[in-house]
Structure 1
């Protein structure tokens, strides 16, 4: 009978500790969510700025490629040098 009582005591203590931890987390989670909102807004703003910069770089590369692809290039061919006899 004593083993049964000790088991119930341990189970009661475990459930009490688990309930205490869960109640503390239940109280703290909303503060964490509201605290993260500002960070997420800044992250989205930085992502938009990065996308704009990448679009600008892509446009410049396309202009550069179009400019140098359209210009004709001069091909110089050298004649082989034959030594005199």
Structure 2
């Protein structure tokens, strides 16, 4: 059991400054993704996979031109479709 705990900690605690910044500053925070087709998605960042796809929790989709909001739940957003990523306060 202790050996497994150590392996998990080594995966989550990295010496890489970029990974540390991601863990400390962005994970668990609300992001606003502006997609290539001008839709906006807001949700809490759960993780980023090995292909840089973004996993959001409790996401909502906004259509700025129509002032309509739609609840999506937990989603994966392909990075190819993202135009801009903003950190929500």
Bucket of the pairwise TM-score, normalised by the shorter protein: under 0.3
Q: What's the TM-score, normalizing by structure 1?
A: 0.22
When you count helix as a share of all residues, which structure comes out higher? 1
Task: Point out the structure with max Rg over C-alpha.
Answer: 1
- Pick 1 or 2: higher relative contact order, CA cutoff 8 A, min separation 6: 2
